[in-house]
Structure 1
Amino acid sequence: MKKIILFICVFAFIKINAQTKQDEAKVYKKRVLETTEVDFLTSYYSQDGNNAAVSGGEGSESLTDVTGTFVVAMPLNDDDVLTIDAGISAYTSASSSNINPFDDGKADPFQASSGASSGDLWANITGSYTHSSDDRNDIWSTKLAISSEYDYFSVGVGGSYTKLFNQKNTEVSVHGNVYIDSWKLLYPIELRKANGGKGDEDHFDISNYTITGNTDYAPNFVPLDGTARNSYSFGFGFSQILHKKVQGSLALDFVKQNGLLSTPFQRVYFSDVADSFIDSFQLADDIERLPDSRFKVAAGGRLNWYLNEFVTLRSFYRYYSDDWGISSHTASLEVPIKITDKFTLYPSYRYYNQTAADYFKPKETALSTDVYYTSDYDLSKYTANQFGFGVSYTDIFAKMHIRNFGLKSIDLKFYQYDRDTSFSSSIITAGFKFVMD
């Protein structure tokens, strides 16, 4: 009996001790996010070129865009984080202004018009929720996104699951998203009343203008069917620590799109139709016509090599292909250089090239008997180079304060992008991360 009582006491002690350790682990487990973090991101973007799709592949592509975004990440408890991402973008565009080039003086594809389509606001808000398991080896997330501008509205939902194992040296993930978009069918001004096209809110009357070239301008324009576009994406990720100084990752993504994939206000000029002009602006023969479905596949990988405490190499490669005939290669290298315990420099380079879509036709090369055609140089064959440079400031103790928020980091970056067509662009970005005391 004494042995039995002793066994019971020992067993009870072991169980109580184990339970106490579990409770202590639960009490003292590290939170996924210790405190609320706020990121403010802003950028200034400008571009130029001579192949505007709005004017049929010829004309000014000048555009400027200013954005501002707040990202607020809030810990709901030890395991759950709610993130709100809200931003607004304001742009002015010489290209889109020529949806109606006849509203202020002489019309010219290389000159901006001052009409309503010369600028717009884009707004977005995304909410995401992330849950991590007690051992931090399982991570689930969901999101809801809404964005809108003058002629476009989008709602998106998505989710992901990430699994870490092998002492967190290995990570696999899967993610999916669905976006439901709708367009306002905004056609080039001269086509809006042709052959059943919708009326024109600007009260444009072509009979008030002098047409030169082919004075018998009578486009065979058929309005587009439907205003919806649905996009479905699904992807896999794999990451592995290969060495204490080397980490690699692979990604595979699939995207399926259905619905309105043509841009309603992008003009096309046919080689077998005589040209008609008002001033120096050529009147549209038709608009861009593209298939109502598209399937995309992208596969890529990253390799990060920690050379020493001062220099890291971050490399990336991706191959892309779709059923419109485009295939592309992207390769990039970023070399963070830590110059002090708080300042890091970020020189970078990115190379890109792609083949042309099957439906790409430069100005006046498409035939009126073709089924699909576009003069959008984003779908043309081209090679591009991008050079970048950045600097970051990090203070893990967030000693600088603005009210109840400590400044944790500042990131400033500049990128210059050039295609072997006439297109070039530059962007300056700034990011500020604050943590709540």
Structure 2
Amino acid sequence: MKRIFFTAAAILTILRANAQEVKDSTGYESRKLKIEEINLVSSYYQQNGENAAVTGGIGSQKLTDIANVFDVRLFKYDRKHRKHTFDIEIGLDNYTSASSDRIDLKANSSASHGDTRIYPSLTWTVENEKKGTTFGAGVSSSKEFDYLSFGANVSFAQKTRNRNGEFAVKFQTYQDIVKVIAPVELRQGGREDDDYPSANRRTYAGSLSYSQIINQRLQVTLLADLVSQSGYLSMPFYRVYFTDGSVHQEKLPDSRLKIPVGFRANYFLGDRFIIRTYYRFYTDDWGLTSHTANIEVPVKITPFVSVSPFYRYYTQSAVKYFAPYQQHSGSDQYYTSNYDLSKFSSNFVGAGIRLAPPRGVFGLQHFNMIELRYGHYMKNINMSSNIVSVNLKFK
């Protein structure tokens, strides 16, 4: 927690200096770049289970992850009074995993036991309030020991004439490089080799959405996506055991087409209650279909304190290529024992508490909000996890 408060002190210094800029008394919008808000999100995730894909669908899935995301949003107005927003985000995850440590079955503890992932991103948007249009573009990257990803996106949104509706379209791509790290017994010569071969993975996604204010209490959004993946889509260190006892690397098709569609509705029940609902249907050409239903009900305890209980139910079918430990045979063209691709259902339940006092958290004017959330996740295939997160906002 010391790191969080040291960072908070630095943020407050920046915001105090930013607030001391002299404003033009004529109401002219300054074209200098200013800080709009800063967010710091930290979370701790812990998981247990007995269906590790690294060991062929059996074995410990114990995992812990500590994640930190630092987000700074800057803005300025240009000569045409268009608002330009620059969102700079840097994420850093550090995890330890009992299952990935078993890439080498003979090692008590190997280099794969833990890893650190770094994922920066930059997004630029320009909003023309007069025309009701918003254009955006962004780039991102993610790096860990066996994985390197580069992403890019462009987006456009147009409000309706009465400003009660908005249509949005977004295109994204991710170009990934995967180190093909095989289980140790399947490597050439059966020994460690740091000079791993690599393979490419490509993702292209298009998203459409339409949001509409129905009345003062109800807002709805329709969502649709089309995602195409190609290249090396298997996980190279996931084992698959055949009926004859032999061990193999996971093998999946080199293309996948995903189609999710969703619906979101927010209903404002008086001044103290909001009912937020979400449903998504998903299908792909690997044979997986799923349904997600989510509800969250923020409740204002006071004008500055609210709690948000939430619940999510999820269910999916198995892909055509899944079978448990020692259930695949040599006649199978593709095979996996990864239980994330099996048939299961899950429940995720928890709550958050949010404090946003008008004079700032702890009386610090620019410390705008603090939110603490906890969730417990349960699968019906002997897997569970817990996550706790804290979000600090400065404005």
Q: If the length of structure 1 is used for normalisation, what is the TM-score? A: 0.80
Q: 1:193–1:200: 8 Å Cα contact kept in structure 2?
A: no
Structure 1 counterpart of 2:70, which letter? F
> Which among 294, 300, 318 is matched to residue 280 of structure 2?
318
1:100 maps to 2:104:
yes
1:342 Cα deviation (Å)? 0.7
Structure 2 counterpart of 1:85, which letter? E
Structure 1 counterpart of 2:192, which letter? D
1:264 maps to 2:236:
yes
Q: 1:395–1:407: 8 Å Cα contact kept in structure 2?
A: no
Q: If the length of structure 2 is used for normalisation, what is the TM-score? A: 0.88
Q: 2:34–2:76: 8 Å Cα contact kept in structure 1?
A: no
2:256 paired residue number: 294
For 1:242 and 1:124, the matched residues in 2 are separated by 38
**RMSD of aligned Cα (Å):** 2.2
1:401 Cα deviation (Å)? 6.7
What is the CA deviation profile of residues 341-381 of structure 1, one whole-angstrom value per residue up to 9, with x for unaligned ones? 11010001100000000000111110022110000000000
Q: Taking every aligned residue pair, what percent have the same amino acid on both sides?
A: 37
1:63 paired residue number: 63
What secondary structure sits across from 2:162 in the alignment?
Answer: coil
What is the CA deviation profile of residues 303-354 of structure 1, one whole-angstrom value per residue up to 9, with x for unaligned ones? 1110111111001100000000000000011000001011010001100000
Cα–Cα, structure 1 residues 30 and 380, in superposed 2: closer, same or farther, change >3 Å? Answer: farther
For 1:167 and 1:350, the matched residues in 2 are separated by 34
Structure 2 counterpart of 1:147, which letter? S
1:257 Cα deviation (Å)? 0.2
1:64 Cα deviation (Å)? 0.1
Cα–Cα, structure 1 residues 352 and 399, in superposed 2: closer, same or farther, change >3 Å? Answer: closer
1:132 paired residue number: 127
For 2:354 and 2:172, the matched residues in 1 are separated by 32
2:221 paired residue number: 249
Q: 1:328–1:353: 8 Å Cα contact kept in structure 2?
A: yes
For 1:66 and 1:424, the matched residues in 2 are separated by 17
What secondary structure sits across from 1:325 in the alignment?
Answer: coil
> Which among 375, 397, 402 is matched to residue 337 of structure 2?
375
For 1:166 and 1:332, the matched residues in 2 are separated by 31
1:202 Cα deviation (Å)? 7.8
Cα–Cα, structure 1 residues 251 and 290, in superposed 2: closer, same or farther, change >3 Å? Answer: same
Q: 2:231–2:255: 8 Å Cα contact kept in structure 1?
A: yes
What is the CA deviation profile of residues 225-263 of structure 1, one whole-angstrom value per residue up to 9, with x for unaligned ones? x60000000010000111110111100011000000000
Q: 1:290–1:359: 8 Å Cα contact kept in structure 2?
A: yes
Structure 2 counterpart of 1:376, which letter? N
Cα–Cα, structure 1 residues 401 and 121, in superposed 2: closer, same or farther, change >3 Å? Answer: farther
What secondary structure sits across from 1:98 in the alignment?
Answer: helix
> Which among 347, 350, 353 is matched to residue 388 of structure 1?
350
Structure 1 counterpart of 2:202, which letter? N
1:411 paired residue number: 371
Gaps of 5+ in 1: 1-25, 105-113, 204-222, 276-283
1:107 paired residue number: none
1:388 Cα deviation (Å)? 1.3
1:36 Cα deviation (Å)? 3.1
What secondary structure sits across from 1:51 in the alignment?
Answer: coil
> Which among 297, 313, 336 is matched to residue 351 of structure 1?
313
For 1:289 and 1:422, the matched residues in 2 are separated by 25
For 2:139 and 2:180, the matched residues in 1 are separated by 26
* Structure with more of its chain in strand, by fraction: 2
Larger-Rg structure = 1
1:80 paired residue number: 84
For 1:401 and 1:201, the matched residues in 2 are separated by 56
* Alignment map for 1:356-367 (pairs within 5 Å): 356-367=318-329
What is the CA deviation profile of residues 41-76 of structure 1, one whole-angstrom value per residue up to 9, with x for unaligned ones? 000001110000000000000000001110000113
The number of equivalent residue pairs is 365
What is the CA deviation profile of residues 163-186 of structure 1, one whole-angstrom value per residue up to 9, with x for unaligned ones? 112322101100010000001111
1:42 paired residue number: 42
* Alignment map for 1:98-247 (pairs within 5 Å): 98-104=102-108, 114-135=109-130, 137-193=132-188, 200-201=192-193, 227-247=199-219
Gaps of 5+ in 2: 1-25
Q: 2:30–2:76: 8 Å Cα contact kept in structure 1?
A: no
Q: 1:343–1:394: 8 Å Cα contact kept in structure 2?
A: yes
1:101 Cα deviation (Å)? 2.2
For 1:300 and 1:29, the matched residues in 2 are separated by 39
Q: 1:400–1:406: 8 Å Cα contact kept in structure 2?
A: no
What secondary structure sits across from 2:333 in the alignment?
Answer: coil
Structure 2 counterpart of 1:46, which letter? Q
For 2:264 and 2:34, the matched residues in 1 are separated by 29
For 2:359 and 2:139, the matched residues in 1 are separated by 33
* Alignment map for 1:329-344 (pairs within 5 Å): 329-344=291-306
